Amino acid sequence: MMLPVIIGIVVVVVIASAIAGIYNNMVTKRNRIDNAWQNIDTQLQRRNDLIPNLVETVKGYAKHEQDTLAAVVNARNAAVSATTPEAKMEADNVLTGALRQLFAVAEAYPDLKANTNFTQLQSTLEDTENKVSYARQSYNDCVLSYNNAIQTFPAVIFAGIFQFKERQGFEAAEAARQAPTVKF
């Protein structure tokens, strides 16, 4: 009579431990996504802080490129004011395209390209872009791992119960995949 009770308790403990392990795994992966997004956000803020200095430097050399400068400033302002990860991703794509256009335009100004302040800002911004790219890759890796975890058996059963939702990875906009066109 005692043996069935002990077996029942062991089975309950094993099942509860398995459920707790699955739940903890999903929470850990979700937290990694949030952390990876914070890393992207930090690098985007760093880039946004550099852009006003870059625009001011270019203004002095490329006075008739006001449309390009305005596009960068507007894109930066949209990126700064975006509040959700999705909105930030979209605004970041627009800003990346505007910066690519700005650097393409800068190629036409030898004095600007020789300016120490501009080259230093360009180098710092390129370094930041590399960090943003790495942070995006890390974020997408975390999203993939999390989505796999909540969509595979048996976790998929508990993901629904505990309301773990699929996350979207970072995707570059179509405009960011194309080379900028420069017209003179």
Domains and CATH numbers, the chain: 2-177 (1.10.287)
Residue 113 has pLDDT above 50, yes or no: yes
Cα distance between residue 153 and residue 38, in whole Å: 29
Cα distance between residue 175 and residue 94, in whole Å: 8
- pLDDT digit string, tens, across residues 46-105: 988 988 888 888 877 777 778 888 889 999 999 999 998 889 888 988 998 888 888 888
Concatenated DSSP letters of 17-44: HHHHHHHHHHHHHHHHHHHHHHHHHHHH
* Eight-class DSSP state of 145: H
pTM: 0.76
Tokens of 19: 């459920």
Q: Which residue in the block uniquely carries the two structure tokens 């430097």?
A: 57
Q: Give the orientation angle of helix 85-106 with respect to helix 66-81, to 10 degrees.
A: 160
Residue 20: pLDDT band by 50, 70, 90 thresholds? very high
Cα distance between residue 182 and residue 184, in whole Å: 7
* Eight-class DSSP state of 152: S
Residue 22: pLDDT band by 50, 70, 90 thresholds? very high
The pLDDT value given to residue 183: 47
Cα distance between residue 114 and residue 98, in whole Å: 22
Q: What is the pLDDT averaged over residues 149-170? A: 93
Q: What is the pLDDT averaged over residues 116-141? A: 90
The pLDDT value given to residue 101: 87
Residue 32: pLDDT band by 50, 70, 90 thresholds? very high
